[in-house]
Amino acid sequence: MTRQIGVIFRRELGAYFTTPIAYVFIVIFLFLSGVFTFHLGNFFLRGQADLHSFFTYHPWLYLVLIPALAMRLWAEERKSGTIELLLTQPVTLADAVLGKFLAAWAFAAIALLLTFPIWITVNYLGEPDNGVILSAYLGSLLMAGGFLAIGSCFSAITRNQVIAFVLTAVVSLAFVLAGFPLVLNFFTGWAPQVLVDTIRSFSFLSHFDAISKGVIDIRDIIYFVSLIAFWLYATVLVIELRKAD
Amino acid sequence: METKVEIHNLRKQFGPFTAVDGISFQVGRGEVLGFLGPNGAGKSTTMKMVTGFLTPTDGTAVVCGDDITRNPLAAKRHMGYLPEGAPGYADMTPTGFLRFIAEIRGFRGAERDRRVAEVMERVHLLEVAHQPIDTLSKGYKRRVGLAQAILHDPQVLILDEPTDGLDPNQKHEVRNLIREMAEEKVIILSTHILEEVDAVCNRAIIIAHGRVVADGTPGELEARSRYHNAVVLRLPEGRDAPGIEGLPDVAGVEREEDGDTGGVTLRLLPREGRPILDEVTAWLRERAIEPLELYVEQGRLDDVFRTLTTHH
């Protein structure tokens, strides 16, 4: 079965690079992460040898870019009818969902790796704690996986990539903002405290913040991994239910 | 005959709408089954269930001994499927696409490359091997779709409208390919082009409103037409055959005036499909009428098709 995942993974990853998507995405990703880090994040003014100002904007960057990466995953298969072709091959739906997701995730990882010049820069300028940086990269990658898994599910709902993009962005925003007073205030007062705490615990930000500060807590990792598993499972269900459309 | 595909009481419900309403039939090796029906009759839905894309609401299909609902992977390995419209990954080249299909079908390395090269030669794709599928003409796209369906040399081939939208030459080519493969495989193809059934099928099933309404050889189905054994008579200018409708086995006469030549064509419909040729020729001889043309009709599939699929 893993062989089938591999075959689908390679095709998908290859597809990113046969179209301009890959290059456009990478260029914009690198450009925006530069703008955020140096302008908004005041990388130089902070005068500290760390990548805090780089990683702190990643949730916002992903909020815009990851839905764009994920929207084609299933919506395009639906639109072009290749979904029928793919799912009548001897592959399980779970393998197909996983193979496609992993390809998108690997692509996000490539884009993330290409930010290495900033790591070189900070090492050139000072003596950062590279353990923290590595942990932050890991956290960023896990968070990208979370966004992608959400995107995978919403891409499976529709054949329209714009709708997939918007739905993914909105739901991702909810996950990012779940820890913000803006959202929590909406619930405090009428909802039980347990619910408010649960909502807070779903926030991407709180889990990502911890990892990006170098604290690798197994609970944060479990959070992202189970979030990914949940949304991929939802993707399988959505496709199963809506195959005929 | 070895039964390869058994379809048991297949049903598909979309909300309140019943798309397929209890279809059962069996197909054996060497059969080329034409699946006929008006648009929306449930042809594609049936094929999608047999190939394991859609889950049946009820019933199942057994392909070469493997049940598609219980053992989908095994059943899918026996089948090659050309979905409607022959979809393919637009950005890939035929070579890349077929390699992907070969790998997903479990072929690796040299075996994979051999299969891809063979199938590309068979359906004449070599000249466009490295162009993105997106840029190919409809005919080439269809060939890519056929190539992916036959690449693993499946025992059962399911083709959803394989010649739809092709020009006459391309149609001819696809039909030849189907005929070539017919002997050693089971082929089920859907179509709404009736001439196709005559051209390639040795069995036809007509479905309407999700049910089988006729099942037989094209000849048997044509025999159900009111035109079966009808005699067509073309008379020269100024001649007519008054009173011919009085013959005992003639049920009716359809007249067609030919504006250009001033002649008339009579189509004599037989009572209960009985042969009337002898009767008609004797009658003509008695009256010394020499027709320009005289022949017996086999029956018309489109007539049977219309009768069976509209009266419900």
Report the CATH superfamily, name and number, of domain B1-78+154-224+300-312. P-loop containing nucleotide triphosphate hydrolases (3.40.50.300)
d(CA A90, CA B211): 29
pLDDT average, residue stretch A211-232: 90
Contact B77 A8 (CB under 8 A): no
Whether the predicted pLDDT of A48 surpasses 90 = no
Per-residue pLDDT band at B311 (split at 50, 70, 90): low
Q: What confidence tens digit (pLDDT) does each residue in B4-34 have? A: 999 999 999 998 999 999 999 999 988 999 9
Look up the ipTM and state it: 0.88
pLDDT average, residue stretch A165-175: 91
Whether the predicted pLDDT of B262 surpasses 80 = no
Q: Which residue of A has its CA nearest to B105?
A: A90
Indicate the residue type of A82.
T
Indicate the residue type of A140.
S
Asked if B90 and B39 touch (Cβ cutoff 8 Å), the reply is no
What are the DSSP calls for A73-109, one per residue? HHHHHHHHTHHHHHHTSS--HHHHHHHHHHHHHHHHH
Contacts of B85 in chain A (CB under 8 A): 81
What's the full length of chain B, in residues? 312
* A 36-55: CB under 8 A from B: none
Q: How many Cα neighbours within 13 Å face the side chain of B126?
A: 6
pLDDT average, residue stretch B150-163: 93
Per-residue pLDDT band at B1 (split at 50, 70, 90): low
Contact B88 A85 (CB under 8 A): yes
Indicate the residue type of A183.
V
- Count the domains in chain A: 1
Per-residue pLDDT band at B263 (split at 50, 70, 90): confident
Q: How close B49 gets to chain A, by Cα (Å)? A: 10
Q: Find the domain containing A159 and state its range.
A: 3-241
Q: How close A164 gets to chain B, by Cα (Å)? A: 20
Q: Is A84 on the interface with B (CB under 8 A)?
A: yes
Asked if B144 and B152 touch (Cβ cutoff 8 Å), the reply is no
Contact B76 A89 (CB under 8 A): yes
pLDDT average, residue stretch A21-37: 88
Q: What confidence tens digit (pLDDT) does each residue in B171-183 have? A: 888 899 899 888 8
Phi, psi values for residue A244, rounded to 5°? -70, -25
Q: How close B102 gets to chain A, by Cα (Å)? A: 10
Contacts of B63 in chain A (CB under 8 A): none
Q: Which residue of B has its CA nearest to A85?
A: B83
Q: What confidence tens digit (pLDDT) does each residue in B276-310 have? A: 888 888 888 888 888 888 888 887 777 788 888 78
Nearest to A85 by CA among B75, B52, B74: B52
Q: Which residue of A has its CA nearest to B151?
A: A89
Q: How close B89 gets to chain A, by Cα (Å)? A: 7
Whether the predicted pLDDT of A36 surpasses 70 = yes
Which of A20-34, B52-66, B242-256 is predicted with the least confidence, judged by mean pLDDT? B242-256
Of B84, B104, B148, the CB nearest to A4: B104
Whether the predicted pLDDT of A58 surpasses 80 = yes
The DSSP letter of residue B261 is: T
pLDDT average, residue stretch A177-190: 77
Helix (H) or strand (E) holding B284: helix B277-286
Q: Is A206 on the interface with B (CB under 8 A)?
A: no
d(CA A89, CA A173): 36
Of A11, A84, A90, the CB nearest to B83: A84
Encoded tokens for A41: 């994040």
Of B90, B92, B104, the CB nearest to A89: B104
Encoded tokens for B102: 């070969």
Contact B54 A243 (CB under 8 A): yes
Q: Identify the residue whose tokens are 């949940």.
A: A230
Of A3, A18, A88, the CB nearest to B91: A18
Question: For chain B, what is the mean pLDDT?
Answer: 88
pLDDT average, residue stretch B29-57: 91
The DSSP letter of residue A128 is: -
Contacts of A90 in chain B (CB under 8 A): 73-74, 76-77, 104-106
Contacts of A84 in chain B (CB under 8 A): 48, 53, 83, 87
Contacts of A88 in chain B (CB under 8 A): 51-53, 76, 79, 81, 83
Distance, C-alpha A51 to centroid of its chain: 19
Encoded tokens for B29: 């090796």
pLDDT average, residue stretch B164-176: 86
Whether the predicted pLDDT of A1 surpasses 70 = no
Contact A85 B148 (CB under 8 A): yes
Per-residue pLDDT, A83:
94
| pTM, rounded to two decimals | 0.87
Nearest to B85 by CA among B138, B48, B156: B138
Whether the predicted pLDDT of B312 surpasses 60 = no
Of B51, B84, B89, the CB nearest to A15: B89
Contact B89 A14 (CB under 8 A): no
Q: Identify the residue whose tokens are 């100024």.
A: B238
Q: How close B54 gets to chain A, by Cα (Å)? A: 7
Contacts of A244 in chain B (CB under 8 A): 14, 45, 48, 54
Tell me how far CA of residue B239 lies from CA of B235, B251, B267, in angstroms.
6, 22, 15
Question: For chain A, what is the mean pLDDT?
Answer: 88
Which of A122-136, A151-165, B253-267 is predicted with the least confidence, judged by mean pLDDT? B253-267
Ranges of each domain in chain B: 1-78+154-224+300-312, 90-149, 231-296
Interacting residues of B140 by C-beta distance below 8 A, sequence separation 6+: B94, B125, B128
Q: Which residue of B has its CA nearest to A17?
A: B91
Contacts of B88 in chain A (CB under 8 A): 80, 82, 85
Of B51, B84, B85, the CB nearest to A88: B51
Which of A150-159, B63-72, B250-259 is predicted with the least confidence, judged by mean pLDDT? B250-259
Which of A5-19, A211-225, B104-118 is predicted with the least confidence, judged by mean pLDDT? A211-225
Which of A143-157, B78-92, B231-245 is predicted with the least confidence, judged by mean pLDDT? B231-245
Per-residue pLDDT, B104:
95
Whether the predicted pLDDT of B207 surpasses 60 = yes
Q: What confidence tens digit (pLDDT) does each residue in A134-150 have? A: 999 999 999 999 999 99
Determine the CATH number of domain B231-296.
3.30.70.260
Per-residue pLDDT band at A219 (split at 50, 70, 90): confident
Q: What confidence tens digit (pLDDT) does each residue in A70-115 have? A: 999 999 999 999 999 999 999 999 999 999 999 999 999 999 999 9
Q: Is A2 on the interface with B (CB under 8 A)?
A: no
